[in-house]
Amino acid sequence: METVRIGLAGFGTVGSGLARVLQENGDWIERRIGKRLAIKTVLVRDPAKQRAAQPGPGAAFCTDPSALVDDPEIPVIVELMGGIEAARSLIERALTAGKHVITANKHLLAEHGTELFALAAKQGRGLLYEASVAGGIPIVQALKDSLSGNRIEKLVGILNGTANYILSEMTTNGLEFDTALTQAQALGYAEADPTFDIEGVDTAHKLVVLIRLAYGRDYPLKALPVRGITGVTQQDIEIAREFGYRIKLLAQVRDVEGRLEAGVFPALVKHTFLLARVGGNYNAVRLEGNAVGPIMFHGQGAGSLPTASAVLADLMDVCRPGFLPDNTGFGAAPLSPAEILPPDLAVSCYYYRFTVADRPGVMAAIAKAMADHNISIAQAVQKGDESGTDVPIVFLTHAAQAKAAEAVAAEIDAMAFTRKPTVLFRIL
């Protein structure tokens, strides 16, 4: 039986998980594809480091990428280092050397995917990336193959397990944001520096990858509006609950008459919706195709074995007889730039929380500002406050353009009766 020898760059959480699954499921994999998969060489910073897991029989550690790239016995390299420059250099060298590459590096793909896919196409090699988005959820393969005959009208997802865990703890257990973040770090769900997770950056990287697959267009990362969850308070969680909503960090893209409206933002989601029920560090992707209709994927979005499962799926594809690379799902030709709907023209319903002086005429002034900007009010309530001086007033609106919604917030913030900056969230 033929053995395919793998070069592995990185042996952390996912790399060690891949080694474990290859060893535990080796016979099953061989039955599936008719070949044995074995790690030959592992690129690491410190080969002498004591490791709880091992890459498998006969595997060796190295510190020089050339040991992977220049080895004629290695036809495929798995990049699990993370970061940008070193990973980019390795992938470029591997593709140029005629090797297939599998990566989980969503940051690299979001920033430099266009160039890397062009190089892979030129070399006739696969650059596969199932593990780059939503961990164990097979959303890349679904968009590339199973749903490829559909026009995707809308895609919305919970793509960051850390942010979702924090919001779930705030909702379920009443924790404040900082406490929930500290708890996530203690459990290993959040990095020591959680900026990418809580500011929506990690979610943005993944959304750019999904936009390419769903729409066959390049959407520049710098053009994507991104807002994280650091502004979400326990007060907003409770008010949302009273109105029948839960707050989630969402990635969304939809086709608006040929232009793409996309962004990352916290939003109120009706508690009866499946997305609202996605708890803990789980991920979910809901999309609507013009043929299949609405469909949702749900599962573990990170972790050693779920992500290793996604890497292994790509490995098995590459090693099957007759593998033909189609890295973007739209053939070898470069993708055209996306036509982008300006963010201020995006239409949504909105949640406002104004903190104002408790005096007559305030509610009427806010309602007038909304009317002046053609925003229709769906619900409004004034919440009591123990201080007796400042009160929160909450408005839920019907659909309005973002520029109008933000103009109202700016106008009210400038009023003498306003005590704190207005809180403004979308409603899904």
Q: Identify the H or E element spanning 43.
A: strand 36-43
Would you state the structure tokens that stand for residue 174, as one six-digit string? 């009443």
The helix/strand/coil state of 8 is: strand
Residues 6+ apart with CB under 8 A from 198: 162, 163, 166, 181, 190, 228, 229, 230
The strand ranges marked E within 194-323 are 217-218, 245-256, 259-270, 282-289, 293-300
Measuring CA to CA, how many Å separate 140 from each of 136, 202, 314, 363?
10, 17, 10, 48
Count CB neighbours of 149 within 10 A: 10
* 414 HSE (CA, 13 A, CB side): 7
Catalytic residue among 206, 368, 383, 403: 206
Q: Of the candidates 109, 326, 67, which has an alpha carbon nearest to the alpha carbon of residue 206?
A: 109
Tell me how far apart the terminal alpha carbons of the chain are, to the nearest angstrom. Answer: 53
Give dist(CA 106, CA 90) in Å, integer: 15
Q: Please, what is the angle between helix 234-242 and helix 161-173, to 10°?
A: 70
| CA nearest to 266, candidates 177, 380, 146 | 177
Q: Is 206 a catalytic residue?
A: yes
Q: How many helices (H) and strands (E) does the chain have?
A: 14, 18
Paired sense of beta strands 377-382 and 390-397, if any: antiparallel
Catalytic positions, please?
Answer: 206
